[in-house]
Chain A
Amino acid sequence: MENLEIKYLSTDILIAGGGTAGCYAALKLAEKATKHIMIVEKANIKRSGCLAAGVNALNAYITKGRTPDFYVDYAERDAEGIARGDLLLTMSERLNECAADLEKLGLVILKNADGSYAERGTRNIKINGENIKPILAVAVYERPNIKVYNHVNIIDFIVVGNRIYGAAAVDVHKPILYIIKASAVLCATGGAAGLYRPNNPGFSRHKMWYPPFNTGAGMAAGMRNGAEMTTLEMRFIALRCKDTIAPTGTIAQGVGAKQINSYGEVYETKYGISTPNRLYGTVVENAAGKGPCFLKTVGISDEQELDLKKAYLNMAPSQTLKWIEQGSPQERNVEIEGTEPYIVGGHAAAGFWISTDRHTTIRGLFAAGDTAGGCPQKYVTGAMAEADIAAMGIMEYLSSAADNKTEIDYHKYGEQYKQQEEHFLNVADKEFCVQDLEEAMQKIMDDYAGGIKTGYKYNEAGLSIAGKEIDKLCLLTDELPARSMHELTFIHELKDRLYICRFLIEHLKARKETRWHSFAENADYPDKDDVFKEYINSRIEDGEIKIIHRPIVKRGVRYEHNYQ
């Protein structure tokens, strides 16, 4: 019999997930107040989350002569109108402040002769982004009122009467269950990867665009506790270098490489240059038998090639290794492909439905970064801006609304979660393991919910099958055995992914149009229909997923939830 020790912890503000948004929120909170702040991170904050390997540029920045409205215009256009103007504008107003903050903490930003930042395109600046996470981690550890728990995995939020009281977590190594009491919680656990069968389903199955360790844990915890979610159907699919799934933007923008098909025809101009359409063009060219598709790099100079190799070492080293092993970009054009779909609020708009101050529909639970919906194209600086806004929202919440809390018995929760978790540690071996069910989930989503196999297309008939099959897998997860604490984490990751899949399927069904090619390519409704110029939201009610239609929120508005 494997027993778990229960440890009771207490803090004012709990930050679930110590990625870029989580760490920056902690720093901003520590600046603002003497409150106790706790970061709980599944890995180690020095290299956790999206920026573990680094990032190529700061891709959300208000460049010289432009305004925050310019950025909002871009993001709204790219999302075909399904984005929150209020969230985008409040984010855009803070982007440059966040970049300056990063520079103060030690980030290297390329400068022009006059000392201004060197721009890359109209919304980006050039940096060395290899060490953003180590830089943020050092700053976090310098603050005495921030306590960091690395290798602790949050498995649920404690919510009573639609108000947050803390979280339950398990240690990734030691047999310890944590019950964490908190007055406010920021969910910064990231988006969800691994829902669909990946590009390299064999040995390199985790060589994907998004961190494979981001499994949507905080989103799923919020969903289970009745939080309203938005725009999950706007999946994000990245156009990447084939096999390595490394970024293409650095090549396209860095050396001006065009997208060409195998006949050498430049096709990108045929389909439009919005984020979904760049991908869609590649899908269509391949389907028409004109693939494989490439970024045309043959003929670049020696200096350009060396700079590319170095840039990739700072963010995606496998691409540099591939060039050296298989042939340089000067000799061979770089083949490109679309990834499997992800659920992510930092590129697309999927996530928690939040107020302008980043409060979710659960009182005291805030969201920032990839978990926060409605605010696409936020990238690194936008996730930071959002963390800062959430920090302000949390301070306001703690000074006003938190006094309505009732006392709850944390020991009751301790015993309940102990029983739940010890079940997995003691159940008998089964014919299948976590890995087998994960592969089954990815196959179902790929076959019936618009994965790579169908060129991202789906229809109602397929989605209905997907829903039923995912439900069956959910039931099987309750009997999975965990032979270690690490395996217990794997079970939770699978359960969270399946839960998100179930919501995603309902969202895909509900948007009966095709507003974004590939991201939500509904074969039953291949055209855009402005009846759906609205948000598709969802919430669990009496065990059923309820779809909610909400009108567009424009910039300048201060949106607040109507708590009952």
Chain B
Amino acid sequence: MSITINKDLCIGCGRCSEICPGTLIELTEQHKAIMIYPRDCWGCASCLKECPTGAVSFFLGPDMGGRGAVMHAKKTGSITQWIITKADGIPVVLETDSRAANKY
């Protein structure tokens, strides 16, 4: 599991690069973020939550069952929308609210 960054959506703000706990993301001279060590990602999704434009895609590696689905996150206030697009193109949207505790 790892991430990819969409160059067209990336605005080069550097937030993902700053936040990654493994320091795995760098900014190019063209001010675009790139994942330089895709095999070293822990899957914490910090970059996903930091990105203001939804440029970061989170996916499961094929070795852990990934078959083409990707996840994006969109944060508005306390609400995070998690948009999961399966290989067949059908999106599933889940919402979490940072003001709400886990029931479990």
Contact = CB atoms under 8 A, between A and B. Distances in A.
Most chain B CB within 10 A, of A52, A254, A321, is at A321
Interface of B: 1-2, 18-23, 38-46, 48, 58-67, 69, 71, 80, 82, 84, 86, 92, 94-96, 98-104
Contacts of A355: none
Contacts of B66: 325
Interface of A: 42-44, 46-49, 52-53, 56-57, 108-110, 118, 120, 126-131, 150-151, 172-173, 200, 202-208, 211-213, 243-244, 250-251, 253-255, 306-311, 313-314, 316-318, 320-322, 324-326, 486, 489
Contacts of A42: 23
Contacts of B23: 42-43, 151, 172-173, 486, 489
A314 B41 CA distance: 18
12 contacts: A53-B43, A200-B64, A202-B63, A206-B22, A213-B42, A255-B104, A309-B94, A311-B104, A317-B58, A321-B60, A322-B65, A325-B86
Contacts of A53: 42-46
A324 B63 contact: no
Given A130-B96, A200-B61, A206-B43, 11 more contacts: A53-B44, A204-B63, A204-B64, A205-B39, A206-B39, A211-B21, A213-B42, A244-B60, A309-B94, A321-B60, A321-B69
Contacts of A306: 94
A385 B61 CA distance: 38
B94 A318 contact: no
Contacts of A109: 101
B48 to A, nearest CB: 8
Given A47-B44, A200-B63, A206-B39, A307 B103 contact: yes
Contact of B104 (A254, A320, A322): A254
B102 A47 contact: no
A44 B45 CA distance: 14
A325 B96 contact: no
Contacts of A206: 22, 39-43
B96 A203 contact: no
Given A52-B46, A207-B1, A313 B21 contact: no
A150 B19 CA distance: 10
